[in-house]
Structure 1
Amino acid sequence: MSQSRVPVKINYRKKANLLELGYADGESFELEAEFLRVNSPSAEVKGHGEGSEVLQVGKKYVTITDIQPAGSYAIKICFDDGHDSGLFSWEYLYEIGRHKEAFWQDYLRRMKEAGASREPLFISVKQL
């Protein structure tokens, strides 16, 4: 892997709810928590092969609760919906950063085709 694809700066901007990645060559990406969550490289999201992907719905307001190093090749991102099984390799983060708009448009297309929503399903609970 090229050293240029290893970020030299990783910041989680909590108020903006996004992960900022900076590279030695000056390139940088801002990846929103929702974008990272719906593009998690985990088997829960990607499935176990072509065609077994699981569309992530209702993740519009998801936030990042923790970021942990995973060796020298990745980070583990934990989200407030309990998802924490994706290891985001440097290569994968660079790929989704460089092609963010295409990844996002593909996600929105799949959501529309499924008749699904980015909005979480809120269920009103009455206590008697």
Structure 2
Amino acid sequence: MAGLRPEFPRPSAITLHQGTQRLEVAFDDGACFALPAELLRVYSPSAEVQGHSPEQAVLQVGKRGVQILGLEPVGHYALRPSFSDGHDSGLFSWDYLYHLGQNEARLWAEYEARLAAAGASRDPEGVAR
């Protein structure tokens, strides 16, 4: 999913909502997704998060409350968000953002299951919810 495939819709509008920390992406096929910053952070396509194979993926813990501090366009195919925890190496292609939006509920469930299996939490260390 790294590169733009021609059959995937392209963004028609991108809005970062600072208050809710959601990245809203409207696509030219009419789909519109409001992706939480935490979801973007834990599913960053960077090698730091995904590794170089599925076996090397690193479970991201304690990312509840992470914020998007900035968005940098990369060519005509992706965005590079900067997160409040210092992470800024993920290139989110249009098709990857579309994938995250279409599969948000399943991805959240998988992430929470992996956290539970690891005895880990979405909460930063020292913060109880």
**Above 0.5 in TM-score?**
yes
The offset of 1:24, in angstroms, is 1.8
The separation in 2 between residues aligned to 1:30 and 1:104, in whole angstroms, is 14
1:90 aligned to 2:99?
A: no
1:2 corresponds to which of 6, 10, 16: 6
Secondary structure in 1 matching 2:54: coil
Is the 1:4–1:23 contact (alpha carbons within 8 Å) kept by the matching residues of 2? Answer: no
CA distance in 2, matches of 1:4, 1:23: 9
Q: How does 1:97-112 map to 2 (within 5 A)?
A: 97-112=101-116
1:4–1:24 CA contact under 8 A, matched in 2: no
- Corresponding residue SS for 1:12: strand
Give the letter aligned to residue 99 of structure 1.
Answer: N
Q: Distance in 2 between matches of 1:92 and 1:108?
A: 20
Which protein has greater RCO, CA pairs closer than 8 Å, 6+ apart? 2
Partner Cα distance (1:87, 1:50) in 2? 18
Deviating 4+ runs (over 4 angstroms): none
Map of 1:17 onto structure 2: 21
TM-score between the two structures when normalised by the length of structure 1: 0.92
Q: Does 1:30 align with 2:16?
A: no
Which entry has the higher C-alpha Rg, 1 or 2?
1
Q: Which amino acid aligns with 1:80?
A: S
**TM-align CA RMSD:** 1.3
**Distance in 2, Cα, partners of 1:120 & 1:40:** 18
Match of 1:43 among 47, 52, 55: 47
Q: What is the aligned-residue identity percentage?
A: 46
- TM-score norm. by structure 2 comes to 0.91
Question: 2 CA distance for matches of 1:18 and 1:85?
Answer: 19
